[in-house]
Structure 1
Amino acid sequence: MMISNSSDRCDRLSTGLAQALAGALSLAALALLPGCAFNRIPQAAPTQPSGAQAVVVEGRLNHVIDGRLQAPYGRAGSGWPVPRFTAARLQDGSAWMSPEVSAADGGFRWALPPGDYLVTQIGIGQIWDDTLQTWPRVLLCVPPATGPQAVHVGHLRMEGTRYDETRTLSTGTSYRARGIRWLPRVVDEAGPGGGPRRLMQVRPDLPTGDALAQALQQDREGLLERSCGPLAPAPTVGTQSPG
Structure 2
Amino acid sequence: MAIKSRLVDFMPATSLFRLKTFWWMAGAGCLLAVAAGWWMWLSVGKSKARDALNAQSGFREPVLEINFPRRVEDTAENDRLLEAGVKSGIWRTQRGSGANHFIEVRLTNQGRMFFSEIGNDIVSTARVGKRMVKEVTTMKRRGTSREIEFVYNWEELGEAVAVLGDDGPEMQKDNKGEAILLYENNQWRAIHWGTTELDESVARFRKLKAAE
- Give TM-score scaled by structure 1 length: 0.23
Return the index of the structure with the highest Cα Rg.
2
- Give TM-score scaled by structure 2 length: 0.25
